[in-house]
């Protein structure tokens, strides 16, 4: 509701406290991502784990977007299927890495999954800004 109101009301009509709150939220997000959100990913497990955490965050964001009616159920369903496929990709990469010993293929798979997740999350943020 808050994000919905902040992003749909023209700037000139937003109450001062809402603008302050939006600024405060952005600053807190920036501080959080600087402090906790960017660990150094060294091993394959680190990278795979990061993709999984991003999928969890995207799923949480999608639930919020659904509750705030910022996204249709049909679109949410499509994105949910994409997220499930991305989780499957991580599992596939893990098998390639650990069982087949194909480190390069596993890392490429993982990089593709991360890129797809970035596109998906950006799209989700754009939708909630409309």
Binding site for other proteins (CB under 8 A): 1-2, 5, 17-18, 21, 25, 28-29, 32-33, 36-43, 45-46, 48-50, 52-53, 55-57, 59-60, 62-64, 66-67, 73, 76-77, 80, 83-84, 87, 90-91, 94
Q: Which residue number, 8 or 57, has a Cβ lying nearer to other proteins? A: 57
* Token code pair at residue 51: 């993709």
Q: Which residue number, 105 or 128, has a Cβ lying nearer to other proteins? A: 128
Report in angstroms how near the CB of residue 61 gets to other proteins at its nearest: 9
Distance CA 4, CA 63 (A): 14
Distance CA 68, CA 57 (A): 17
CA 117 vs. chain centroid, Å, equals 7
Q: Kindly tell me the sign of the dihedral angle through the C-alpha atoms of 73, 121, 30, 12.
A: negative
Distance CA 49, CA 75 (A): 26
Report in angstroms how near the CB of residue 30 gets to other proteins at its nearest: 12
* Token code pair at residue 12: 């000139």
Q: Which residue number, 62 or 96, has a Cβ lying nearer to other proteins? A: 62
Q: Which residue number, 84 or 108, has a Cβ lying nearer to other proteins? A: 84
Report in angstroms how near the CB of residue 57 gets to other proteins at its nearest: 6
Report in angstroms how near the CB of residue 83 gets to other proteins at its nearest: 6
| CA atoms in the 13 A half-sphere facing the CB of 74 | 0
């Amino acid at each position: 509701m808050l994000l919905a109101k902040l992003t749909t009301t023209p700037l000139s009509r937003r109450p001062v406290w809402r603008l302050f709150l939006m600024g405060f939220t952005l600053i807190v997000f920036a501080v959080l991502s600087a402090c906790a959100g960017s660990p150094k990913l060294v091993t394959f497990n680190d990278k795979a784990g990061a993709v999984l955490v991003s999928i969890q965050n995207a799923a949480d964001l999608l639930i919020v977007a659904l509750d705030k009616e910022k996204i249709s159920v049909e679109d949410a369903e499509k994105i949910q299927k994409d997220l499930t496929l991305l989780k499957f990709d991580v599992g596939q990469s893990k098998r390639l890495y650990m069982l087949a010993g194909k480190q390069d293929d596993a890392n490429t798979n993982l990089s593709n999954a991360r890129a797809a997740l970035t596109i998906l999350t950006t799209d989700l943020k754009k939708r909630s800004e409309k």
